[in-house]
Every structure is written in C-alpha cells, then in structure tokens.
Amino acid sequence: MNEKKAFYDEKNRRIVHVGTVADDDYWDSHWAEGIVLRPDRFVVETTKRYLTGSAKILDAGCGLANTVHGLDQAGFSAYGIDFAQKTVGMVNRAAPHLQVTVGDVRATGFADEFFDGVWSLGVIEHFFDGYDEIALEMKRIIRSGGVAFVTVPSISPLRRLKIRMGLYPRFPGEQAGFYQFVLEPSSIVSSFEQHGFKLLESQ
C-alpha cells in the first residue's frame, strides 16, 4: 500500500491525502482478511438517541457491515450498501441474514423517503468531485423528520495550527492518486444545510 501524503488546498479550505486511490479494488483489498462482525456501539447508541423501534436505517458505504450488524441486533430494520463487490459477497456469505447489497451511495436505487435514517461513516471525503450528489440522495431517501448521520475526517485544532504554520505543501490540484479530503466542519454543515438539512448535533 502506498504511503499517503498530505497537501493543503487553500482555495477550498481542505487537506488532501494522495498516494492510494480509494476505489472498489482498494476497499476489497483493505477488507480481504475476512468478516468478524462486531456491533459498533457508537453508532447504535447515537442512533437510539434519535430513532426508535424498528426504524429503517441504511449504512451507505457499509464495508464489513459491522454497523448493519449492530443496528440489526438492536432491533432496527438495517440495510447496507457498498460498491466493493467482493466485500459485499464476503458479507453475504458470512451473514446472509443481513440486508447488504452492492450499491452506489450517489444513486442507491431505494424509493423516496424509504428510510428513517442514513449513516455515512467516512464516505463523503473519498469523492474528488465533492459530495453534493451523496447529500441529495440522502435527502431523497430519508423521510421528512428523519436523520442523516455523517462522520468525516475533519480539520482539528492541531491540523489548523499546522495549516497556519505552512506545514502542508500546497495542493497542485491534480486528481492523480487521490485518497481523501480532510474537511472543515463548518463547510460540511453549511453544505448539508443548503440541501435542506438542519444540524441537530456535532462532535
């Protein structure tokens, strides 16, 4: 695996990691060691603060499906999609009771307002052209009053200090080798609000 290098994109106020392209082959290789289903307590406990009973929840970009497994065990109607076909096949063989399928987070194929909530755990930062399509798709498939749960690598106070000190090289603007962005929290909130979401909580 190539070592990732960090640059700063001043125009868009974000850190850019390059060195390993985060495509489906990368994720299939990343998760190739196999399935060990471990419920994600953070996800389950956070979900329970906003949704109850058998609420329908999608993990959009579910990887090894630990989130789907945990939500399923907690009594939710849990679904997962991921574009890494080998990984999804591995999940299906190991846990055929879970509703996990191959899919694109930008065009999930689910009906309008199908879900009460959608999780996006470390997904939106891997799209070089931005995440507007993902936010719009989440808005479409979440019912009115439902919840989007979004986690991303963010520009922390330490990273912000390193930016001010000029410790990141300037980003040349090329997509070659792109892995992920590290995003400014306020810009994420602003972007999702422009698509009709309202911030309930941030950490």
The pLDDT tens digits of the residues spanning 32-78 come to 777 777 878 899 999 999 999 899 999 999 999 999 999 999 999 99
- Residue 29 confidence (pLDDT): 86
Q: What are phi and psi of 130, to 5 degrees?
A: 100, 180
CA dist., res. 71 & res. 65, Å (int): 10
Q: What is the mean pLDDT of residues 126-140?
A: 96
Domain ranges across the chain: 5-194
- Residue 2 confidence (pLDDT): 55
Angle, helices 41-50 vs 66-73, to 10°: value is 50
Q: What angle do CA 113, 115, 116 make, to 5 degrees?
A: 105
- Residue 37 confidence (pLDDT): 78
- Residue 188 confidence (pLDDT): 93
Q: In sequence order, what are the beta bridge partners of 60?
A: 81
Q: 30 or 109, which is more confident?
A: 109
- Residue 160 confidence (pLDDT): 94
Tokens for 45, please give them: 């406990």
CA dist., res. 203 & res. 186, Å (int): 12
Q: In CATH terms, is domain 5-194 a member of 3.40.50.150?
A: yes
- Residue 1 confidence (pLDDT): 44
Please return the burial class of 52, using the count of CB atoms within 10 Å of its CB with bins 0-12, 13-18 and 19+: exposed
For residue 119, pLDDT over 60 is answered with: yes
CA dist., res. 57 & res. 165, Å (int): 42
User: Which residue, 38, 94, 116, 33, is CA-closest to 70?
Assistant: 38
Q: 20 or 81, which is more confident?
A: 81
